[in-house]
Amino acid sequence: MGAMEKVSLGIMGDTPQEMAAMARKAEAAGFDCGWAIELFRNAFTQTTFLGAETEKMDIGTAIAWGFVRSPMTMAMSAMDIDEISGGRFRLGLGPGVKQLIETWHNAEYGRPAPHLRETIEAVRTIIHAASAGESVAFKGEYYDLDIRGWYRATPPVRADIPIYTAAVQKGMSRMAGDVADGLIGHIICSAQWIEQEIVPAFELGLSRSGRERSSFTYLPSICVAIDDDYQRGLDAARSTLAFYATVKTYLPLFELHGFGGNAVAAGDAFRKGDIGGVAAAISDEMVECYCAVGTPDQVREKVSEVAQFGDAILPGAPTYFIPNEQIAEYNDRIIEVFGSASAA
């Protein structure tokens, strides 16, 4: 089964009821996994709810912020949700944004790749110990755990709950290959960036850890606006791409294709409070480089460019600076267009 036949989806909605309805639509269309996003909602709470609302589709966190909860809390949550969903949970962990981790959560960010590596190792150790009925002794740079006298009345459904992480740069991609079961891509990772930076890095990590490529799942992502009105779709995707262009650490991904100046201009406009100027800095050519826009056939062709490097694919609707109704429309189109492929 190719990546284009194994499709995931970010589950969205203004209310839990809307999220549940979207998840049920995706499940009925044969989608492989529904992912809960963490920013203004708790990813673990969402996946608990979605696990109870679905029956066959996997559900996961994409991405839960790994530094704002203890490994014990995350391990217990993962085991609980896996039990509620009947063994369908995927734990996606990431470092998040440094400023938000430190100011919103008053948590330590540290060095993101080593910190996340240790987080994943600690969470996995706790889950394995719970399965074996053993105590936990774990000591690292960020965690010093001594867990004794704790047990679950019923053992975990699975001792090896899949743990994914996210990456846009080499260091985090290598770390994913070292210790994670999978890697979720970012919508600003072009096919060329994936081929040159992401794949060689996680393959090196897999080699260093003595694992086969088949043991690892790479899930590239791409912004998708399926719209018969090409300009409308282009403008919607432009708004989302503009949001990410303001992040300085993403500049190399835009420089690769000659759009570094656009990204710098978008960042300057953002810091001046000129939201219109942020989007205006993003050219049509830049949107077409990173996003899939247009008719179903046009979108499929573009999505296939990144899907060729993955084991599955995660198309995502534009989400920034456009009306919620338009976001819902684009998500419905993704389910309609990609559902038939994933259900085939």
The DSSP annotation for 51-116 comes to HHH-SSSEEEES-EETTSS-HHHHHHHHHHHHHHTTS-EEEEEE---HHHHHHTS-----SHHHHH
Q: How far apart are CA 249 and CA 56, in angstroms?
A: 38
Q: What is the pLDDT of residues 96-145, one digit of tens each?
A: 988 899 999 999 999 999 999 999 999 999 999 999 999 999 999 999 99
Q: How far apart are CA 171 and CA 79, in angstroms?
A: 29
pLDDT band at 2 (very low <50, low <70, confident <90, very high): confident
Q: Phi, psi (5° rounding) for residue 295?
A: -70, 165
Res 342: pLDDT: 44
**Stretch 71-83: mean pLDDT, rounded?**
97
How would you classify the pairing of strands 89-94 and 64-65? parallel
Distance of CA 163 to the CA centre of its chain: 12
3-state SS of 198-236 is HHHHHHHHHHHCCCCHHHCEEECEEEEEECCCHHHHHHH
CB 245 within 8 A of CB 324: no
Distance of CA 137 to the CA centre of its chain: 30
**Stretch 251-276: mean pLDDT, rounded?**
96
Residue with tokens 């919620």: 324
Res 341 pLDDT > 60? no
Res 1: pLDDT: 63
Q: What is the pLDDT of residues 221-256, one digit of tens each?
A: 999 999 999 999 999 999 999 999 999 999 999 999
- Local structure of 34: helix, strand or coil: strand
Res 19: pLDDT: 95
**Stretch 7-20: mean pLDDT, rounded?**
94
Q: Which amino acid is at 76?
A: M
**Stretch 318-338: mean pLDDT, rounded?**
95
Res 344 pLDDT > 70? no
Q: What is the dihedral of CA 60, 65, 68, 73, to 10 degrees?
A: 20
Res 108: pLDDT: 95
Q: What is the pLDDT of residues 207-218, one digit of tens each?
A: 999 999 999 999
Q: How far apart are CA 337 and CA 1, in angstroms?
A: 18
- Local structure of 52: helix, strand or coil: helix
Q: What is the dihedral of CA 174, 317, 315, 81, to 10 degrees?
A: 70
pLDDT band at 260 (very low <50, low <70, confident <90, very high): very high
CB-based burial label for 279 (10 Å; 0-12, 13-18, 19+): buried
Q: Which helix (H) or strand (E) holds 182?
A: strand 182-184
Q: Which amino acid is at 97?
A: V
Res 153: pLDDT: 85
- Local structure of 62: helix, strand or coil: coil
Res 97: pLDDT: 86
The DSSP annotation for 116-151 comes to HHHHHHHHHHHHHHHHHT--EEEE-SS-EEEE-S--
Better pLDDT: 340 or 37: 37
Res 188 pLDDT > 80? yes
Res 343 pLDDT > 50? no
CB 202 within 8 A of CB 232: no
CB 191 within 8 A of CB 306: yes
CB-based burial label for 334 (10 Å; 0-12, 13-18, 19+): buried
How would you classify the pairing of strands 163-166 and 89-94? parallel
Nearest to 77 by CA among 11, 123, 10, 125: 123
pTM for the predicted model, two decimal places = 0.94
Distance of CA 114 to the CA centre of its chain: 19
How many other C-beta atoms are found inside a 10 Å radius of the C-beta of residue 152? 13
Q: How far apart are CA 59 and CA 87, in angstroms?
A: 10
Rg of the chain's alpha carbons, rounded to an integer? Answer: 20
The span from the first CA to the last CA of the chain, in angstroms, equals: 10
